[in-house]
Chain A
Amino acid sequence: MGRARLIGAPAAVSRKRMSLDAALDVAQDDPDAALLVRYAQGDAAAARVLTVQLTPRAFGHALRVLGDRTEAEDVTQEALMRLWKIAPDWRTGEAKVSTWLYRVVANLCTDRLRKRRGSVPLEDIAEPADPAESAEAKLQRGARLDALQAALDTLPDRQRQAVVLRHIEGLANPEIAAILDIGVEAVESLTARGKRALATLLGGQRDALGYDDDKT
């Protein structure tokens, strides 16, 4: 992480030199921040690049946490809107743009899950596809992903967010800790409990999901 490198910078270097190194670290660590600065200066091309890069990530996370495309779409648009609004005041080096965006998405998802809690009919939760449809590999994969989503939907909000960020978005624990505003140990605990619950839920569907057929 950039921060660790800064802390570990040799004490002999001058303050000016170190601040230059820090700026370079930030630029290398977070090209999105440079794009956001260009966006705030009126560069339409930067707006396009940021949109193309960040929208799929925000939508992917929102969809896997919420399990609902319409809600995920709303959350994604809202999160990006907040990014555009904050762009002129963005302070480079304080946080990665993607971390900030994931955090907004996570909070918006939590708000929606809170409102939804206790009011979701069971039939609205995605069901694993009928095993009879899994003759072809494509359908099988679709069924597996549906099953994963259905299992994710049963996890508590924070566990779900942590598992999705760690194992599907592929983020490192310190970044997830920053997104969820918790400690790294808490992230490890959440992901471990989440994985255990998922394994238990999905373990009973091994045959239905074709895992004993293709030995995967």
Chain B
Amino acid sequence: MTKPDTDMLETLFQDARATPPALPDGLMDRIMADALAQQPASGARGWRAIWRAIGGAPAFGGLVTATAVGFWIGVAPPSNLPDIAAQIITGASFATLDDGSAPELTAFGWDIEEG
């Protein structure tokens, strides 16, 4: 391999590097279409979609907490709230302001009126 031949070859390689072959018409479009056809769906389906819609694990944690607190309030309501669960289960009537079962509130009303 003589020096001139080597130099000529290097020049040829440089030319080849500087002249990338033109792509066939439509090849890029076809490959892009393949890519999109094979691409896993960005919008997940089924339970995964619901999971994403509510915001993933952090949002789900908040939902669980809110649900548990709500359930507990239903089971063991604070003393100043009517025990609706017990009323539903036992069939007892609801407390109302005019049945005398809430004297504190009525008395409070009088206090306001009297100043």
Contact = CB atoms under 8 A, between A and B. Distances in A.
Dominant SS among interface residues on chain A: helix
A28 interface: no
Interface residues of A, number: 46
A80 B34 contact: yes
Interface in B23-61: 23-24, 27-28, 30-32, 34-36, 38-43
* Chain B interface residue number, banded: 20 to 34
B32 A51 contact: yes
A51 B35 contact: yes
Given A195-B9, A199-B5, A73 B35 contact: no
Given A41-B40, A42-B41, A50 B28 contact: no
B46 to A, nearest CB: 15
Given A39-B39, A84-B38, A198 B9 contact: yes
B8 A55 contact: no
Contacts of A59: 21, 23-24, 27
Interface string B1-29: 11011111101110111011101100110
Interface of B: 1-2, 4-9, 11-13, 15-17, 19-21, 23-24, 27-28, 30-32, 34-36, 38-43
